[in-house]
């Protein structure tokens, strides 16, 4: 993909600290004339992360997602992630097909804003199905985002990169933007609160692919088979479909959802994950279960689309409330 430099699309951004649109390029940074903050531009990535405003959960994610770009081994491990895990690739392709179905009607003239996308491993899989005029890729750690051009080198189109967190996103609300979050929102301290902020501040159209919870998932979690502590030290909070529907109604969005069940790879022995003849039958059985439970919106994974209603937000629309959940150290 062709890579845009930082100053080419400043009209799509606001200052994450004060929400001003008075941004300009100064040397190797984007500067805000209103609050005088400067955001460094490094290796093609503008780093809009406000480290002094990160909650404990986001601060841990910021540290754990960072990559030593000077280590050839670390870079190779991230760039070749899918080559070592065919089961992961099969599950990601299944997720991207669901996201593609929910993006029906999204034309090639639109701009995709991918959030929490790490090194962009999922983006080529999504772009197999549809094209966009411009793709923004963002992650909390700028070093992860710096690897996106390598992942996307065989994909046609235009790419631009920035780093930011969900709660201080510098993207301006535009009608042609489509937000996309793949397996990242549940890493937030309060994913439902962060989702509300994305809808209120940033996007008319937003597509998520995220794990969801229900009574069966919670029972599995108590057995250690779901919602396990992740690499960053966080036990994630999965999205609740009932709360998602209330958020959509409150802020004037239509919501559609496709659910399925997914086998957690980390509960399977490595010898099973490495042998297709062992994991493929299991995945086939789980997919059959998904077909049976899909009409009831019952599963462990979901692709969800929020689309702002044309007549505007409902009379009950309000700013997202502050979360009462405490940030536990990771």
Q: Is pLDDT of 111 > 50? A: yes
User: Over the stretch 290-315, which tens digit does the pLDDT of each residue have?
Assistant: 999 999 999 999 999 999 997 544 44
Q: Is pLDDT of 188 > 80? A: yes
Asked if 68 and 199 touch (Cβ cutoff 8 Å), the reply is no
Q: Is pLDDT of 8 > 60? A: yes
Task: Give the pLDDT score at 263.
Answer: 86
Mean pLDDT of 254-268: 90
Asked if 282 and 90 touch (Cβ cutoff 8 Å), the reply is no
**pLDDT > 70 fraction of the chain, expressed in percent and rounded:** 91
CATH architecture of 43-308: 3-Layer(aba) Sandwich (3.40)
Asked if 45 and 214 touch (Cβ cutoff 8 Å), the reply is no
Task: Give the pLDDT score at 316.
Answer: 43
Task: Give the pLDDT score at 83.
Answer: 72
User: Over the stretch 169-178, which tens digit does the pLDDT of each residue have?
Assistant: 999 999 999 9
User: Over the stretch 132-171, which tens digit does the pLDDT of each residue have?
Assistant: 999 999 999 999 999 999 999 999 999 999 999 999 999 9
How many degrees, rounded to 5, is the angle at CA 84 between CA 299 and CA 160? 75
How confident is residue 329, by pLDDT bands cut at 50, 70 and 90?
very low
Asked if 90 and 125 touch (Cβ cutoff 8 Å), the reply is no
**325 by DSSP, 3-state: which?**
coil
DSSP designation for 312? -
User: Over the stretch 16-35, which tens digit does the pLDDT of each residue have?
Assistant: 999 999 999 998 999 999 99
Q: Is pLDDT of 270 > 60? A: yes
Q: Is pLDDT of 183 > 70? A: yes
Each domain of the chain, given as residue ranges in start order, spans: 43-308
How confident is residue 328, by pLDDT bands cut at 50, 70 and 90?
very low
Mean pLDDT of 84-90: 87
Taking residue 140's Cβ as centre, other Cβ atoms within 10 Å add up to 27
Task: Give the pLDDT score at 6.
Answer: 65
How confident is residue 48, by pLDDT bands cut at 50, 70 and 90?
very high
Q: Is pLDDT of 251 > 50? A: yes
Q: What is the DSSP string of 260-303?
A: E----GGGS-HHHHT-HHHHHHHHHHHHHHHHHHGGGT-SSEEE
**Of the ranges 144-148, 219-223, 230-234, 287-291, which one carries the lowest mean pLDDT score?**
230-234
């Amino acid at each position: 993909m062709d890579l845009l430099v930082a100053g080419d699309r400043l009209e799509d951004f606001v200052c994450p600290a004060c929400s001003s649109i008075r941004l300009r390029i100064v040397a190797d940074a984007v500067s805000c004339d209103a609050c005088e903050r400067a955001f460094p531009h490094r290796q093609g990535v503008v780093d809009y992360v406000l480290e002094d405003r990160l909650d404990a959960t986001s601060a841990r994610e910021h540290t754990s997602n960072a990559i030593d770009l000077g280590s050839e081994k670390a870079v190779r491990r991230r760039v070749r992630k899918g080559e070592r895990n065919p089961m992961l690739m099969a599950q990601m392709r299944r997720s991207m097909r669901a996201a593609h179905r929910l993006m029906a009607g999204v034309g090639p003239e639109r701009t995709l804003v991918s959030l929490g996308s790490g090194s962009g491993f999922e983006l080529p899989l999504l772009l197999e199905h549809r094209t966009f005029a411009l793709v923004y890729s963002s992650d909390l750690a700028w070093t992860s985002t710096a690897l996106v051009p390598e992942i996307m080198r065989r994909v046609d189109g235009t790419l631009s990169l920035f780093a930011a967190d969900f709660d201080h996103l510098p993207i301006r609300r535009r009608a042609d933007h489509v937000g996309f979050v793949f397996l990242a929102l549940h890493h937030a301290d309060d994913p439902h609160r962060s989702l509300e902020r994305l809808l209120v501040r940033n996007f008319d159209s937003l597509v998520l692919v995220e794990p969801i919870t229900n009574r069966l998932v919670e029972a599995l979690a108590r057995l250690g088979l779901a919602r396990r502590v992740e690499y960053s030290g966080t036990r994630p909070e999965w999205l609740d479909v009932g709360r998602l529907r209330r958020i959509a109604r409150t802020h004037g969005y239509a919501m559609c959802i496709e659910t399925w069940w997914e086998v957690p790879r980390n509960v399977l022995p490595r010898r099973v994950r490495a042998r297709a003849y062992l994991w493929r039958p299991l995945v086939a059985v789980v997919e059959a279960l998904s077909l049976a439970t899909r009409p009831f919106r019952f599963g462990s994974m979901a692709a969800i689309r929020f689309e702002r209603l044309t007549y505007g937000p409902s009379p009950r629309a309000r700013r997202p409330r502050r979360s009462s959940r405490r940030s536990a150290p990771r």
